[in-house]
Homo-oligomer: A and B are copies of this chain.
């Protein structure tokens, strides 16, 4: 064990285990998680090789091998709870995506939710036993977040009682679905349904794409891998071009919509029925933001206490780089952000489960807010975590660029969350649509509830356009509840500004859509401020659940740091709203420095509390024992380029060149 990192742990003011339990949601959950992790780590069948040293084809091969093993073992161990499946899976693949993700996460659930009983009888067991390996093919080359634009067609032919599937254009080729390229033999294809000469909109169809047994593509099916990406090397994201592919009528998932044998069409009873999955996945992504940023912080902070550089005092040994204020300023606000996002992730999961209960009782009333909130928070947290991971990487100096740091992989694995399951800017605008709607309702005197209830207050004591200096300044920058209030006022003001700006545009523009577009910068800003308020509020609320004094104290400091750092990044908003004065902004920056010093001794304990095993971090820089340099040397020596002392290219090119010059 590196002595520097030992000292850090000795100086912590709280018990990390207690904090770990809070993050896991209870000591029993921590224990069970560790148990599952050990099941994988101690399993000789899951010996891990360093993927960085393999070609893409070999990485895919290794992943399929592990995934196959994983399915068997999970069934042997009787792991069936979704959370436990996630934990086991994540441990097997060390946090990376894998080729069966969509089979397990989309194909099977969609069958369960959208197939009739008869269809389930037919398909489910085959899919459960992996005779059918499926994916979910929605996105097309030319169509992503705006799903109404999808072009793939499924035309019903009553004469044979079949659907005929086609990709009418290049841009309609299905593109990106995970596991589609090489792994799957079936796909749930989202296509525009045509029957009796009418387009009935998007529907899901089960389409066989490769032959059972031989796995060769079926006639009319052009399928393959979409090529190398920024990360996701283990996954065969694929393309699928359908040329007059015929499937039986019963391959349309008909739990809600139906096509009768004669081609007549029955509409679904509600268009909100498939809403839930989307909301669920976006809520999950908020948790991913927390986890990915936590991993990056763990690596960067541990390395920053092991790494010595430059001098603070002449003649004295080089200090740990975490003793530099600039390094603390990079990393500790991110650490606070990671904790904030954990609170938000837990809240989203709880809220989702609560509302799912309501929905199953036929009560959809909470869904719009959850939908808006999950969209906005997905965007808010993924953007910040993405930038934060890179900040962590660059805070590790040159070694952050080495694959052995683990940071490039965390980045490329995480950054797609900004785009998939709804492009972030579009998500922010969805939230804005909800905010503007609630603003309008509130200003008409209707009560709005949930996280937007502040819009009610506003409609009462409406912010008047008045000079900044004339407004009372009431914020105590050391009082978290005051800061929550300040974030609320800021959100309130920016929602109002955006809504008014929109009203102004509506009077000027040709259409509502144009007015919306002309206001969209303001609308995104309003959503962002709303989400920021929600995060500060939830982090602050979490503190009341913490019993242990020492843990409460350090979490309070983190929450204060999070709130004040956010203000320091958006001083203009708080000044303009008259919420803080110029001198107070200066106090904020001074207070921030104090909080950094205050948190510094707990930095390692705070990342230890995330409790990532070395096997899950995959980082030489982030090793628990801090023995970085010897292990980096060891790792480098295994690099494929070192298999021979002299690379072939010397004999092929350099030596002949020498004789020619």
Contact = CB atoms under 8 A, between A and B. Distances in A.
Nearest to A469: B469
Contact of A141 (B142, B589, B629, B656): B629
Given A639-B225, A641-B224, A661-B72, A309 B648 contact: no
Contacts of A267: none
A408 B653 CA distance: 29
B394 A517 contact: no
B653 A403 contact: no
Interface stretch (A105-113, A125-133, A274-282, A365-373): A125-133
A630 B170 contact: yes
A225 B324 contact: no
A361 interface: no
A326 B429 contact: yes
B642 A230 contact: no
B576 A144 contact: no
Contact of A419 (B71, B310, B398, B632): B398
A75 B52 CA distance: 38
Contacts of A351: none
Interface stretch (A199-207, A335-343, A518-526, A606-614): A518-526
B641 A53 contact: no
A31 interface: no
Given A182-B641, A403-B227, A636-B224, A398 B236 contact: no
Given A57-B640, A130-B654, A325-B517, A398 B176 contact: yes
Nearest to A318: B149
A647 interface: yes
Contacts of A64: 647, 649-650, 652-654
Contacts of A272: none
Contacts of A429: 326
A585 interface: yes
B52 A641 contact: no
Contacts of A145: 309-310, 397
A521 B329 contact: yes
Given A144-B398, A170-B629, A518 B593 contact: yes
A646 to B, nearest CB: 5
Contacts of A48: none
Contacts of A13: none
A566 to B, nearest CB: 12
Contacts of A170: 629-630, 633
Contacts of A654: 64, 68, 130, 133, 183, 215
A313 B513 contact: yes
Contacts of A650: 64, 182-183, 215
A61 interface: yes
Given A130-B658, A329-B521, A468-B582, 6 more contacts: A149-B309, A215-B654, A227-B635, A229-B402, A236-B647, A239-B636
Closest 5 CB pairs of A and B: A571-B572, A227-B639, A225-B641, A230-B408, A64-B649
